Amino acid sequence: MAILENNPQTHQKRATIDVLLLCYRAYTRRIRKLLYLGGVLHDRKRSAVWSYIMSFIVIFMCFGQCIFMINFCRDHTDNLVLLSKIFGLTCSFIAPVLMSACFLVKRKKLIELHETLNDLFEQELASDRENKNVLATLHAFDRPSYLLCFILGSTTLFYVCPSMIFIVRQIVQHSESKIYKLPIPVKLPWLAPINGGPVFYLLCLYQYFTCWWMIFTIGSVDSLFGFYAFQISAILRAMSIRLANPRPNEVFSKVLGTCVETHHRIERCGRMLEDVWGLIILRVIIANAILMCALIFEVSPFTDLTINQIFSFISYMALKLLQTFIYAWYGSLITSASEHFREGIYFSNWPDSKLDRHMRANIILAMMQKPLTIRALKVSHVNVNMFTNILNTAMSYFFLLQSLDEGG
């Protein structure tokens, strides 16, 4: 035993496990902070009244912004490039509205999903103190979340920074002859001031707040889906490893019974995840295909572009590709982990174990069930094929817009 304790490889393994555990705790805290900043944090520790107030603020502010942009489009129906640009912005601002509304309607189910997955994950961590197989795929989920939030914030800054710099410069120079423009083109129901003033600055502050919600609400909801996908897939993979490599001090029949019961609860969590995020993912499927098409159409034929336009195009396209890919990839990882669990049961020595008739029936049913899949309102399966289908649809829409523009 002393030799094993002094083994450098053992110490290195324990250090790696401790680092992964710290990364998981940091990942959990970061998701919670993003949800708080995005106004969509729902849990039992937080007042339900305050959660509803914040969600309604996000909904009303972003929905009002969408109405003002649609009103602006009515005066520029002959400019297809401008219409495609405003349409992309409208789809981006409608996302926080939809996400906040879905979280409000499904609040109880969302809290139940969070508590169930958190309990199951902590139980799996406690049952495997030495290896922590449940944390093996952590970096495949937390790093894309970091990247998504960074690109989302950078894209928004690329869009609003030029107008912000212009306004600050005019204030510093005390210029009175310049015409001020709002960061986001809108048409208000009243006459908007164009020479500055308190009303103009309040409108700018309103638009900056809507950009804040767009960054943190979208970033937090997309990251939360990845967090739950990590917990589901990690628990299933850890259970499959436990079944394939049972420890000598464990009774295999008890381990198998616990895994089958946990699998039933995981399946229910999968259905809740699908119910809460179904409409959100469907919006991603439809909107991102159209937005990528509109973005390519807006900058084509890629000539006479400024540096800011080039960086905005690259960051926005990268954002839409990454957002689409992580949803598709996370869904595929859940399905793959479910298949590994079924294989883990099949190749374990459960036929030779002393199991009662009821437990054997549950095991057979678990092996006969289809792998756990996430679907967007039963319209599309959330997997890697969804990503390729969206890209194909985006290119089809682009060629259609190009033909309409040439025909006009």
DSSP assignments along 21-85, one per residue? HHHHHHHHHHHHHHHHHTT----TTS-HHHHHHHHHHHHHHHHHHHHHHHHHHTT-TT-HHHHHH
Please give the tally of structural domains in the chain. 1
Question: In angstroms, how far is CA 39 from the centroid of its own chain?
Answer: 15
C-beta separation of 28 from 187 below 8 A: no
Give, in order, the Cα–Cα distances in Å from 122 to each of 43, 109, 128, 135, 302. 18, 20, 10, 11, 51
Task: Please tell me the predicted confidence (pLDDT) of residue 406.
Answer: 63
Range of the domain at 314: 2-407
**Helix H or strand E segment including 258:** helix 252-299
CB distance 353 to 253 below 8 Å: yes
- Cα-to-chain-centroid distance, residue 225: 5
Decide: 61 and 99 in contact? Cβ < 8 Å. Answer: no
Q: Which residue has the tokens 């922590």?
A: 132
Q: What is the pLDDT of residue 5?
A: 46
Q: Is the peptide bond before 301 cis (omega within 30 degrees of 0)?
A: yes
Residue 347: CB partners within 8 Å, gap ≥ 6? 244
Distance CA 311, CA 307 (A): 6
C-alpha 232/C-alpha 208 separation (Å) is 36
pLDDT at 19: 83
Q: What number of CA atoms fall less than 13 Å from residue 260's CA on the CB side? A: 23
Return the bridge partners of 381, or none.
Answer: 375
Distance between CA atoms of 51 and 53, rounded to whole angstroms? Answer: 5
Amino acid identity, position 51:
S
Q: What is the CA radius of gyration of the chain?
A: 25
pLDDT at 367: 62
pLDDT of residue 174: 65
pLDDT at 116: 94
From the number of C-beta atoms within 10 Å of its C-beta (0-12, 13-18, 19+), residue 275 rates as middle
**274: part of which helix (H) or strand (E)?**
helix 252-299
Question: Where does residue 355 fall: left (phi above 0), alpha (psi -120 to 50 degrees), or beta otherwise?
Answer: beta
Instruction: State the Cα–Cα distance between residues 217 and 38, nearest whole angstrom.
Output: 4
Distances (CA, A) of 86 to 169, 184, 290, 361: 26, 9, 12, 57
The pLDDT tens digits along the chain (408 residues) read: 333 445 565 656 666 677 888 999 999 999 999 999 999 999 888 888 888 999 999 999 999 999 988 888 887 777 777 777 788 888 889 999 999 999 999 999 999 999 999 999 998 888 776 666 788 888 888 888 889 999 998 888 888 877 777 777 777 766 655 666 778 888 877 776 666 677 878 888 888 899 999 999 999 999 999 999 999 999 998 888 887 777 767 676 777 778 878 888 999 999 999 999 999 999 998 888 888 887 887 777 666 677 777 877 888 888 889 999 999 999 999 999 988 887 777 666 655 556 566 666 666 666 666 788 899 888 888 988 998 888 888 888 777 767 766 655
For the chain, the first-to-last Cα distance in angstroms comes to 82
Give the DSSP per-residue string, 9-39: HHHHHHHHHHHHHHHHHHHHHHHHHHHHHTT
**pTM assigned to the model:** 0.88
